[in-house]
Amino acid sequence: MTLEIREETEVPFSFAYQKIAETVAEAALRHEGFPYDAELGLMLTDDEAIRRMNAQFRGIDAATDVLSFPLLPLEQGGRFEGLEDRSDCFHPQSGEALLGDIVISVDHVIAQAEAYGHSQEREYAFLIAHSMLHLMGYDHEEEKEAAVMEQKQKEILEGLHITREEQ
């Protein structure tokens, strides 16, 4: 897996956030049985920048915790059949599947960790797991979809021993 991390703001985390991002992304890919090597991007930014992106791409003029920009044309979460027949889904040099991009607001990670009473590391890991599921075709617009995503997020994080009780 290739993970390109861009820091568009100061990142004050006291944990190894680059390693956590790699670990959670790889765990999500394994959990879903993603059959290809993958390439993805992660941008760490602030509330103002993510607000502008949210307005531009979703028509919502408000800061959010995470945005996901999937590149694979998946019709259903966790269903990867047929991608191998589409050259536009793979990097021409590396052959890795072009999964997409994740944008995380560092401001939101800090605020939500405090509000939810768990560590910044747990909140950050949760947002990566959540976004990875979006990149693999899952959504949470309907209650049933949300329940599926919530269960998968929980399994990914518990498999890494990253729980809400962590402080």
**Average confidence (pLDDT) over 19-46:** 98
> Residue 90 has what DSSP assignment?
B
CA distances from 102 to 80, 85, 130, 143, 151 (A): 19, 25, 10, 23, 20
**Average confidence (pLDDT) over 112-126:** 96
- Average pLDDT value for the chain: 96
**Average confidence (pLDDT) over 74-94:** 94
pLDDT score of 167:
43
pLDDT score of 165:
63
Q: Which helix (H) or strand (E) holds 67?
A: strand 66-70
pLDDT score of 66:
98
Per-residue pLDDT at 51 exceeds 90: yes
Rounded to whole angstroms, how far apart are CA atoms 143 and 20? Answer: 29
Whether 37 and 3 have beta carbons less than 8 Å apart is answered as no
Whether 8 and 45 have beta carbons less than 8 Å apart is answered as yes
Q: Which domains does the chain have, with CATH numbers?
A: 2-159 (3.40.390.30)
Per-residue pLDDT at 23 exceeds 50: yes
